[in-house]
A and B are shown apart, each in its own frame.
Chain A
């Protein structure tokens, strides 16, 4: 039973990372990162149950807080860019190359 939760976590993590690679909208890419972080949360809780150790569940709260902080900063940066160049996607951000 626990293994299926681990599989779910792994699947969500994979979806998140593929989404990050495929999608070009900065906002969607950012959502993919959040999906990856929450996939890790599922993994932590599943392991916590499996090991009968509460520490794994405590970790989830830390990750939630960190994800929230990252959203605040990330949306700030994305909004700053969108304001200057509406409808920008990740492929347009290529001033620096080499």
Chain B
């Protein structure tokens, strides 16, 4: 059938070689595999890993899975470096493959690099955590890699269906990761809540996608972009409905209010390294998808979706900062603070400019480091059996473990936006992008809520550093329970995130430059 159709194509000068070549054999799309090296490493790593685990003898060294994950994540990072140059230069530029379903540009590579860093640090923290909790085995790491694969697919998808497949690969892996701690009831409860609400959000996202397909006639972002730029849409119910539903789905995935209900429960119940991974990699991937679809794909219809993002940003900032103040569980506090951070990143999305995108990317980079470190320290301080629940459990932590307490304080200060840390430059960037577009109201709300959340971060720091009598005049209590064992892998992970946080604050130039270069470029599939 295909061959017959091809034979009817007139053989003029341009198409002649193509037709001659293709009449002899079936036409297959030409796929530039080398551009997909980062995704291939993650995917093949996970698939071959599963096969090896099934085939190899049971008694493998315990550190092997963590080591393999770290090596693969580092390998992915290294493979991004040459691609960054190839995609960026004028001769080759960004590419599009699989008839435009996937587009590799610097934006996608930047996000993939962040996700790989998150995998690397999570694996370092998880090694000692999983052994301590008696959960050690290759499953956690394999799921971490499939999740990272899905996340990186989201970052390079140029088609709504590919994006949805990426979302689901990431989500389904995270459901299992959340429910991983089979002996703790809270972990299972969190897993079920995440599964039900996540499935609901996926269905809403997919329905929005269907409506957009109906309104524009395509699921390809480039074709949607062309479709929208050729028409002036005044009131298209289908498109508006689709945009609203898709925004709700993305709002859920990034954990922005009013779709944030799952965040505190899931972050609290999930194994702590998984909470860190969700705050960093899952959030980063969801924002990457959101920016690709809305800022670029629906860029010319920005006036339709910007009001929704405005409301989401304001609500996230207010809910995240105010509700976090009244929490007593440390992981819940960090979960609410992640909602507030989502609000800040939405400021960058709301501006719908290249400056906003690069500010959001820089924010994601610095938040990745801060969130991984904060949850990592909570995982260490909790010890076997999750002793760290309430804020008062942290009392005396600084006297018992001054180094860890200092690192935790630094990461919390960074989250609140203290100068000389990555958090300050990041907040400056998104607020600057908002002011650039004349959104003074949004900028003012952001700054006020930053002050409110600072109070919450100070509460954690005060409870660590000041032993003093309790609120009701009882005897000062020290840091109780078994001692904290800090393995060298956790030290390395902690070192990476602390250095990254300080580096982003003191010398932000390099990463700022990269995030400025990381613009989304949608090009036609040239068949190259």
Contact = CB atoms under 8 A, between A and B. Distances in A.
A81 interface: yes
14 contacts: A20-B196, A33-B200, A36-B203, A36-B207, A44-B210, A62-B164, A66-B164, A69-B172, A70-B202, A73-B175, A73-B195, A80-B182, A80-B188, A98-B264
B190 interface: yes
A59 interface: yes
Interface string A70-98: 10011011101100110000100101101
Nearest to B207: A40
Interface stretch (B87-95, B212-220, B288-296, B496-504): B212-220
Interface in B320-340: 327-329, 332
Contacts of B193: 93
Nearest to B160: A59
Nearest to B211: A43
Contacts of B211: 43
Contacts of A50: 214
Contact of A40 (B189, B203, B264): B203
Contacts of B185: 84-85, 95
Interface residues on chain B, size class? 35 or more
Nearest to B183: A84
Contacts of A95: 185-186, 189, 269
A73 B203 CA distance: 16
Contacts of B327: 98
Nearest to A46: B214
Nearest to B178: A77
Contact of A62 (B165, B203, B328): B165
B334 to A, nearest CB: 13
B502 to A, nearest CB: 32
Contacts of A36: 200, 203-204, 207
B217 A59 contact: no
B196 A55 contact: no
Given A9-B210, A56-B213, A98-B332, 13 more contacts: A13-B207, A26-B192, A30-B195, A33-B199, A55-B213, A59-B161, A59-B219, A69-B172, A77-B175, A80-B179, A84-B188, A90-B196, A98-B329
Nearest to B331: A96
Interface string B146-172: 000000000000000100110010001
A5 B196 CA distance: 27
Contact of B192 (A16, A53, A77, A98): A77
Contacts of A69: 168, 172
B114 interface: no
A1 interface: no
A80 to B, nearest CB: 6
B268 interface: yes
Specify which of A74, A78, A98 lies most central, judged by the most chain B CB atoms within 10 Å of its CB: A98
A53 B186 contact: no
B192 A44 contact: no
A53 B217 contact: yes
Query: What is the predominant secondary structure among interface residues of chain A facing chain B?
Result: helix
B206 interface: yes
Given A80-B188, A84-B188, A96-B189, A26 B264 contact: no
Interface string A16-53: 11001000001001100100110110011001001101
Contacts of B102: none
Given A33-B196, A96-B186, A55 B172 contact: no
Contacts of A11: none
A77 B164 CA distance: 22
Given A36-B200, A55-B218, A62-B161, A74 B195 contact: yes
Given A70-B172, A98-B329, A78 B192 contact: yes
Interface string B347-376: 000000000000000000000000000000
A60 B163 CA distance: 15
Contacts of A20: 196, 200
Contacts of A17: 200, 203-204
Nearest to B167: A66
Given A73-B172, A80-B182, A39 B192 contact: no
B196 A44 contact: no
A39 B207 contact: yes
A18 B7 CA distance: 54
A44 B213 contact: yes
A17 B202 CA distance: 12
B191 interface: yes
Contacts of B176: 73, 76-77
Contacts of B269: 95-96
A63 interface: yes
Given A77-B179, A80-B182, A37 B203 contact: yes
B265 interface: yes
B200 A47 contact: no
Contacts of B192: 26, 77-78, 81, 93
B213 A47 contact: yes
A98 B263 CA distance: 11
B165 A66 contact: yes
A96 B268 contact: yes
